[in-house]
Structure 1
Amino acid sequence: MKTMLITGAASGLGWALALAARQQGWRLILVDRDARALADKCARLAGTDTDTVRQRALDLTDAAARDALVAELRDEPLRALVNNAGITHRSPAAATDMAVFQRVMAVDWEAPVALTLGLLPALRRGGGTVVNIGSMAGWMPVLGRAGYCSAKAALGQFFEVLRGEVADDGVGVLMVYPSFLATPIEANALGFDGRPAAHARSSVGRVRDADWMARLTLDALDTGKRRLFPDRFTWFASLLWRLAPDLYHRLMRRRFAVELES
């Protein structure tokens, strides 16, 4: 039976991925910092077959806890590692505490990089694939998301380099670039001072649900895709950014004006 590890698995896209993967017969290792929600979700998935779903409650930015997870799993064959856990902020860069940027980078870049490097032996044994949930915000600037855009851009660049370096080891990399999803990541967005953001998010295009994104992600994994751009509207917006950046900025400032006022 194939084994998949999913981070941020107790809610949102992580939970949707866990549901869809279990239906396809995957053995799951689910990781989340919310121990109570994680236990509830694992019980719902596993039923009486506890060997098929394991849970590990930890904060992936805690290096010691992360290293303990790696030490436990690195000798097991792992077919898929899904770096899904993430955090965002909604706040103008000049008004944002550095601690907010550091928190976003720790969750969205440092944790998936460290976990992947630690579990490379397990991925080599399993002929596995690293699935990274990036964002179109890593491809183009979005007002009020300077730290998030930076983290997702860094994530993409790191794993595109790693892809070439581990290809001969039989390890694959799938980069997933969703746009706006109806998940708790935005509901839990940080404000300029690290407390919850006070204003509603701005968005463009259609806000998709997590189940839709999960199905596309698992299909891309199954067919061996290297990159997934599920939303064509934001994909075209990223092309506009590259071809006509000044026009893109004017349109973005108009659409995301609330971010300038917050």
Structure 2
Amino acid sequence: MHSVLITGAASGLGWELARVYYAKGCNLLLTDINAEGLAKRVNELGTKRVLGLAGDITDPALHQQLLHTCAERFGRLDVLINNAGITHRSPTMQTDPAVLRKVMAVDYQAPVELTLRALPLLRQSRGQIIAIGSMAGWMPVLGRAGYCAAKSALSQFFEVLRAETTRDGIRMLLVYPSFLDTPIEQNALGGDGQQARHGRSTIGTIRGADWMAAQILSAQIQGRERLFPDRGSWLASLLWRIAPGFYYRKMSARFAAEMG
């Protein structure tokens, strides 16, 4: 029976991923900084196949606990899903550098460090890494400088790691969603580090987390290496590369309300 470790699993995409992998009969180790919410999710699934371990995903001690628990309770790790993330909505020049550091720590440094620590288990199972990136890592999105930077770094790191771990039999799926209806946007940070006070601007269709989770499971089963689920955002990323001036004009008009 396959074992799956999912970060950021108490809500949004992480919870929907937990549901679809649970339905496939997998053992689950779920983690989230929201201890109360995580406990409710574990109780909702309510079997010995599901474990929860709450903590701050940027804490290396949590990484060690997660992998020790996975090895001890399930005997293996087949799929590591780096899903936990945060974002911000704030003009760059009005953003405290501490906000940028926090976004980078959660969205880039944490999944990198957890993955490196998990490699021995993944080698044993010839398992798979799934990293949840963003189309914001492929094209600039105004008011999201820290988030764009973190997701771009995530993409580059895992593309290099993909090539270097091929001989170990470890597969990798990089996922590039666009705008999803999840708590990551509801809990977005403002420039002062508090919850953002204005609503978000969007491009393209806002998808449900359940739809996205089903797409990810399907892509993993098919052995795909990259998933771009939203065609509109993919075309926008091409526009950025082909006609960056035009892209900036359109982006500036769409996100004017966020720029003040």
State the TM bucket, normalised to the shorter chain.
over 0.9
Partner of 1:15: 15
What whole-Å deviation, never above 9, does each CA across 1:124-177 have from its counterpart, x for those lacking one?
111111101100000000000000000000000000000000000010110000
RMSD of aligned alpha carbons = 1.1
> Could you tell me which residue of structure 1 aligns to residue 64 of structure 2?
67
Counterpart for residue 233 of structure 2: 234
Q: What are the residue-to-residue correspondences of 1:200-215 with 2, within 5 Å?
A: 200-215=199-214
Q: Distance in 1 between matches of 2:11 and 2:66?
A: 20
User: Which residue does the alignment assign to 1:24?
Assistant: 24
Determine the C-alpha separation between the residues in 1 that align with 2:126 and 2:62: 25
| SS of equivalent residue, structure 1 residue 147 | helix
**Where does residue 5 of structure 2 map in the other structure?**
5
C-alpha distance in structure 2 between counterparts of 1:74 and 1:162, whole Å: 23
One-letter amino acid of the structure 1 residue matched with residue 3 of structure 2: T
Of the structure 1 ranges 19-28 and 151-160, higher mean CA displacement relative to structure 2 is found in 19-28
Structure 2 equivalent of residue 41 of structure 1: 41
Equivalent residues in 2 for 1:1-262 (5 A)? 1-46=1-46, 49-50=47-48, 52-73=49-70, 76-261=75-260
Q: Is the 8 A contact 2:63 2:117 kept in 1?
A: no
Query: Could you tell me how far apart the structure 2 residues matched to 1:35 and 1:94 are?
Result: 34
**CA shift for structure 1 position 66:** 2.5
Contact 1:74 1:121 in 2 (8 A): no
User: Does the CA contact (< 8 Å) of 1:5 and 1:28 recur in 2?
Assistant: yes
Contact 1:73 1:119 in 2 (8 A): no
Does the CA contact (< 8 Å) of 1:33 and 1:57 recur in 2?
A: yes
User: TM-score, structure 1 length as denominator?
Assistant: 0.96
- Report the alpha carbon displacement of residue 72 of structure 1 after superposing the two structures with TM: 4.0
The list of structure 1 runs, each at least 4 consecutive aligned residues, that deviate by more than 6 angstroms after superposition, is none
Which whole-Å CA distance do the structure 2 matches of 1:144 and 1:134 have between them?
Answer: 18
Q: Percent identity?
A: 56
Structure 2: where are the runs of 5+ without partners? none
Distance in 2 between the 1:154 and 1:231 partners? 21
1:58-107 deviation line (CA, Å, top 9, x unaligned):
11112223333334446742111000000000001111001000000000
* Contact 2:60–2:114 (CA under 8 A) maintained in structure 1: no
Kept in 2, the 8 Å contact 1:74–1:119? The answer is: no
State the 1:239 CA deviation.
Answer: 0.3
Q: 1:79 and 1:67 mapped to 2: Cα distance?
A: 17
SS of match in other structure, 1:108:
helix
SS at 1:119's partner residue? helix
**Given that residues 58 and 66 in structure 1 are in contact (C-alpha distance below 8 angstroms), is that contact kept between their aligned partners in structure 2?**
no
Task: State how far apart, in whole Å, the 1-side matches of 2:5 and 2:60 are.
Answer: 18
Q: Are the counterparts in 2 of residues 178 and 231 from structure 1 also a CA contact under 8 Å?
A: yes
150-159 or 63-72, which moves further after superposition? 63-72
Deviation of 1:38 after TM superposition, in Å, equals 0.7
